[in-house]
Every structure is written in structure tokens, then in C-alpha cells.
Structure 1
Amino acid sequence: MKLSEKIHLLRKKHSFSQEQLAEICNVSRQCISKWEADIALPNVDKLLVLSNLFQVSIDVLLKDELELDGAKEVHTCGNHAVQQEKTGLYEGILIKESIEGEGILDYLTINKVEIWRTEGTPKYWTVIYFTSIISEFPNLISKVIIANEAKGGNWFVDFKSRNTKYIVFRDKVLHYTIGNHTEKQKVCEECKKMGIPEDQMHWSE
């Protein structure tokens, strides 16, 4: 079942009109109509709203092969945190200044926050130590990572899941098997193309 069909069925199930859902999502009624007609797709922030509102995981919304009766109960870590089957636990460090907006933070379990003083811009970084059980997290975070010269160029976030290391830029998800030097070298070469200096490639594993 497509995302468009799921949005339509969930809206009907919860007795929302298109106008009501549009108000909740802070979009126009025409936008909801386009989602349901499979003409347009909701962005990451709106997917977070739909996931929380309808009490289904983002996996269930996005994957055609998953039916709505496979939805999991929602519990709270952040305001919109979703409890899913623990198919993968992501763990890493995120610099808050490297992302657009704050919606993605609701899908993290924040374990610790530190303020780091830097020599660059901005002068201080808000460093978040996190875990996430959202299986689509690498793709979701890739939609909100900043890629703007005026804001520091190509930012990235690194994290791991079991024996896989992820390096994520805007719309680019790189990964390698921890301990596989050939795979890691290929990822490092891609990072160099993105303008990342070698001294920033000493990721913890």
C-alpha cells in the first residue's frame, strides 16, 4: 500500500477532514489532497507529524510492503518519539547547529548534552549524545543536515549501528563495516570530495 493510500485511510479512520489535517500539519488543504492523490510527498517534518498523530511508525508509512495493521504503539522519548521493533539501534553524536529545525530531535533519545567552544563559526557548538531506534534515521537526518557555505559548508553527522559506521551529509548516506579498511577508505574518499579535511575523519568506532 502506497503512502498516499495510507494517509487517506488514516485520515478517515481518525475522522479528520482534509481541512482539519491541513491545519494540524500547517499546510494547505490542497497539499493534503496532493498527498492523497500521490501527486506530492510530505517532507520530513510533516512525516514526523503524521507519524505522531496517527500513532504509526515512519517505516509503516513509507514502506509499501508494510500494512497499517503492522503499526506499533507510540511511546515518548521526545515529543514525537516512536517505539518500533528494535531492528537497529543507532548511537552517535550530533551537533545541533548542523541541522535545520528541531523536529528530528524528537526522534532521538538524548543521553547527554555538552557545549563545545570552537575556533570557527559558530563559536559554540551544542553537542548531543544520542541513540535512536528509528530504522529510517539515516535517511531522515540526511534531509535536515545543513549544506550551506554561509552556515559552515557541508556539515555531517556520524553514528553507528552494531558493526556499521554511518557518515551522513545532506541527501548523502555513506556507511562502511567497522574493521573493513577498504570500505572505510572509499567513504573517506567521498568525504574528501565533500570538502572534509582528514583531521575530521577520525571517527570513533
Structure 2
Amino acid sequence: MEDETEPVILDDPGRIKALSHPLRRRILHRLRAYGPATSTTIGDVLGANTGTTSYHLRQLEKYGFIEEIPERSTGRERWWRPADTPRDLRLPAPDTVAPEDRPVLDELIRVAHAEDLELFRRLPTEYARDRAWAMLSRGFAHMTEEGLAAFYEAYIELLHEHAHRREDAPPGARPVHIRLFTMPADED
């Protein structure tokens, strides 16, 4: 595996497309949050049939996001786990993507944005229900482009310092959604 602290640009259109499907994203999240599963168990939890989940699992495997657990798989029952992928996987700059591949990147951004909107919709309820785990912060600052880039890198470093992979997490650790986004405020 590549160095976990070095950012890896998701510049393969096939990998971008693999991540742009909502069910694949839900499958990948499920495996990362709860550990190994079969297409049947994933289908039951996500409300999809086994054939559909099997197809999407194979697509995620093809692009290196998940892997089969051969020692746990028997006959037709295949067990899957997240592959050992970099923790800092970033989207390419739009101007570096070939024009014919831009719709794939746009779709991934659209699907991820829809997920984020759902998380924001749930935030007030989660904040009231489980304050120790549902935290929020809003900020406003004047920054230079270089300062914002440095802030972002420091944020990623801090995330790496405190985050654990599921299999290495200490007792009491839970999966949490964490989002950071910035955008110019002078264009409002």
C-alpha cells in the first residue's frame, strides 16, 4: 500500500465511475463501518437483491476499493472487506480531467453532495440525541489561497492523527462522518 499520509489523486476515470454509483458508495461505507460481509448480508441491510449487490461488489473489487476474503469464503458465499486503500484519497482538479471524463467526475461530486445534504438534514436530530458524537462548527475567516491550502493540509494531518481504521480502532471507537468544505464568501 502507498504511504497513508501522502495524498492520492483519484485520476482514473474507471475508479471515479466506480465511486459515483450511490449503491456502491453505501456498500463501501457499510464495509468500512461494520466490517466484512457477504452480498446477501449487505443486500439485506441495504434493501437490494443479492444479484445487484454481487455486481456492485465486483465493480468495487475491480477498481481496488474492496477485496474478497478467500479464507472466509466458501462455495458461492464470498466474504468482502475494504481493501487497504489510502486514507487521503482526493478528487482531481477539474481542469486535469479529460473532457470526455468530466461527466463522470461531475456525477461523483453530485452523488457525494447528495450524501452530504442527507447528513446535514440529520444533524439537528443527531445533535439532540447524541451530543457527545454529533458536533458542529461553523467558521468564517479571511485567508489567502496559500493559507487556505495550509489550513486544509493541517486539517487532514489532524484527521490522520486521531482517526483509526475499523480493524485497529480502540474499544469505544465508533464510525463517524466528518466533513470539511470551504468556498469563497465574497461571491454570495
Higher relative CO (Cα under 8 Å, sequence separation at least 6) belongs to 2
TM (norm. structure 1) is 0.27
Give the TM-score normalised by the residue count of structure 2. 0.28
